[in-house]
Amino acid sequence: MKSEKSDFTQGSILKKLVLFMLPILGALVLQAAYGAVDLLVVGHFGSTSGLSAVSTGSQVLNLVTFVVTQFAMGITVLIARYLGEKRPQYIGQVIGGAVVVFAHPTVYKSMPLVRQLAKEGMIDGIEVEHPRNSPEDKAECAALCKQYGLIHTGGTDFHGANHKVPHPVGTCTTEEDQIARILELAHQRRGIDV
């Protein structure tokens, strides 16, 4: 299988642009189909007021989805620019004070990527406390946090009580001192004096 990168700066842009647009267009079509299925179900089992509410809500949801998608695309362009210019310190300003925490990297075998991102200063923290992390995984993540001064976070990853292996909310948490670090960093990036 041949692997090639799409370079929008060379050759015909139309084919590349269409291939780039298809996943976004597909997502918008699926969002509209989701609203249509809601209308069919409520129309069959509900009342006219319920049908009206779902119809209105579906349109509002489509608008919100479109705005958020376009906003994310614009921010992605700026992030790519700063990464390309080797100026990652400006990324925090672009994403509005967000703190970048890599979620459960050991679960998805992403530790080489996490090591690289930590070394380059591209992440602010690692989710160390996670139900699927073994003691060895936690130790490795905690060591990276210590080595690079990253925030040590935790999350339960709750996906409902009917999950095959449910993890009750609060099983894994973030310590208060680490939450304080997150807030301090977010305020700093937004230019708010703490």
pLDDT tens by residue, 105-117: 988 888 999 999 9
In order of 87, 117, 139, 179, 185, the CA distances from 188 in angstroms are: 18, 21, 29, 14, 5
Q: Which residues pair with 153 in a beta bridge?
A: 127
Per-residue pLDDT tens digits for 119-166: 988 899 999 999 888 999 999 999 999 999 999 999 877 766 666 777
Q: Residue 100's closest CA among 112, 87, 89? A: 89
- pLDDT single digits (tens) 4-28: 555 666 777 788 788 888 888 888 7
Q: Considering only the C-alpha atoms of the chain, give the largest distance between any 2 of them, rounded to a whole number of Å.
A: 61
Q: In what order do the strands lie in the sheet with 125-129?
A: 101-102, 125-129, 151-154
The residue ranking higher by pLDDT, 68 or 180, is 180
Half-sphere exposure of residue 184, counting CA atoms within 13 Å on the CB side?
8
Closest CA to 111 of 93, 88, 87, 128: 128
* Rounded alpha-carbon distances, angstroms, from residue 60 to 65, 72, 190: 9, 18, 29
**Confidence category of residue 3, pLDDT binned at 50, 70, 90:** very low
HSE toward the beta carbon, residue 110, CA cutoff 13 A: 12
Number of other CB atoms surrounding residue 178 within 10 Å: 20
pLDDT in tens, 29-77: 887 787 788 778 888 888 888 888 877 877 787 788 778 877 777 778 8
Q: What is the pLDDT at residue 171?
A: 83
